[in-house]
Amino acid sequence: MKTRLNRYLSECGIASRRKSEEFIKDGRIDINGKTVIDLAFTVDPDKDIIMLDGERIKPEKKVYYLLNKPKGYITSTDDEKGRKTVLDLIETKQKIFPVGRLDYDTTGVLLLTNDGDFTNYLTHPGNKIPREYKVTLHKPLEEEDRLKLIKGILLDRRKSRFIEIKFISKDERDKVMVVAVEGRNHFVKNMFSALGYFVDRLERTNYGGLEVKEIPVGSYRILSHREIEKIYEAYSK
């Protein structure tokens, strides 16, 4: 059965569909000995010989890891400065990549996979996949500012908001739980910073319904394909 080339590359774990399109446009893909730069080109994996930079591409089994990210690791596949990456915590022979990013000092829920389509699904703004964070601020959050963050403020010239903000306890007004559907870099920190608050500690406690309560910090577990299907079912329109 034929499928679009960019989708096939993504399904093989080569890269996301968007990145795969860059590979195609750059002339790095050969089909049956001929370079293909047509983004709409379709292939039959059972009949066509598909190569990237001279190496044949073969379908790869999809794997999904749920990591309880500790501090001190960058969310990347490598680092030119030699810092530890989240891949150092996962034992696998397959080429995987993080779904989105968590800052160096941010902890909690992080997904890693070789499934480009699933990555795009979780991170695409239009799908509004919720992320929940536990935030410790450098000072108590004023009620007026809490309401502003829910109603929406201008951030990077765009109206941005938290879906929900609630205090963890009545006595500790510097600790809140927030829910967002935005995935921009440093989004939570930048939202609070816009109103004069500094985030002392940030932990992602939930992403698309997945939590790490039972996973020790720095450890992970493999997600089943059924768990992935449930995420699609829960948030597909």
- Residues acting as catalytic residues: 103
C-alpha distances in angstroms, 131 versus 17, 78, 125, 196? 23, 25, 12, 23
Torsion of CA 62, 124, 231, 118, to 10 degrees: -10
Q: Return the amino acid letter for 181.
A: V
Whole-angstrom Cα distance, residue 171 to residue 162?
A: 22
Pairing relation of β-strands 64-69 and 107-113? antiparallel
CB count in 10 Å sphere of residue 84: 13
Q: Which two tokens stand for residue 227?
A: 């768990």
Q: Which two tokens stand for residue 96?
A: 């995987």
